[in-house]
Amino acid sequence: MFDAVRADAIVLQITVSETKLDRDSQEKLERRRNKLFKRYRNASQRVVETRSFPTGRVRRIAFEEYKKQSHGQLLRSLLPRQFVSVPHQGPLTILAFSDYRTQDFEPLFRYIDGLGKRLDLIVYAGDDVERFGPIPSGLLDLPSSSEEYPKELDAATISYGIGSISSSRYGLVLRLPKYMDSPDAARLYLKALHHSFS
């Protein structure tokens, strides 16, 4: 499940930049995506039967075609939102793993301790990334309200692919009265809210 590259490195200034694609690169990626889709469709023997209403006509289509029609996403939604550049001297020690959605963290910690050296970079590829740290605020949609008496606490929203999810796991929006303009007042207000809901 885990793969580590053993090395020593001096990591210099890390930079984060927004993902930007020119038209040529986007067209190349679309062509590559369509080529892969055709390859998977042709290799798969799975078929889905769909029934048309109200005629009741049954149609058989390749499973990959069905997935593309029902769950197809724009190319932009499949690309990373940001590029992280890690200039360094010497090779890096990298831990890369994926799909750690519900598993216990202890085996992961034991594995890292067993390496006997500090990791320079950890790459996680999978869902539920909020298990490993808070989602950057730049990726969150913080709901505003035009109501006269809006909710004091509201769940933050994160957009993905073809939709969005609101959840307190991503963070909360605390709306304060105008007269509470200091951090201390905000903390007291939050504490009072906490006691009233607990």
User: Could you report the per-residue pLDDT of 1-40, keeping only the tens digit for each?
Assistant: 455 444 455 656 677 777 777 889 888 988 988 888 888 8
Quick one: what percent of the chain has pLDDT higher than 90?
Answer: 3
- Domain-ending residue, one of 62, 78, 94: 78
- Taking CA atoms, 113 is separated from 88, 96, 105, in Å, by 23, 15, 12
188 & 165 share domain? yes
Which structure tokens are listed for 188?
Answer: 């007291």
What pLDDT does residue 184 have? 75
What pLDDT does residue 73 have? 67
DSSP 162: T
What pLDDT does residue 110 have? 92
**Which has the minimum average pLDDT: 18-22, 78-82, 110-114?**
78-82
Q: How far apart are CA 29 and CA 13, in angstroms?
A: 30
Average pLDDT score over the chain: 76
Higher pLDDT, 156 or 97: 97
Closest to 196 (Cα-Cα) out of 130, 152, 136: 152
52 & 69 share domain? yes
Q: How far apart are CA 5 and CA 115, in angstroms?
A: 10
Q: How far apart are CA 96 and CA 121, in angstroms?
A: 8
Higher pLDDT, 60 or 180: 60
84 & 15 share domain? yes
192 & 141 share domain? yes
pLDDT in tens, 124-135: 887 777 777 777
Which structure tokens are listed for 198?
Answer: 């607990």
- Domain-ending residue, one of 78, 101, 119: 78
Sign of CA dihedral 17, 37, 123, 78: positive
Instruction: Give the number of domains in the chain.
Output: 3
Higher pLDDT, 111 or 159: 111
146 & 181 share domain? yes
Note whether 92 and 7 are within 8 A (CB): yes
Domain limits at 168? 137-197
Residue 95 has pLDDT above 60, yes or no: yes
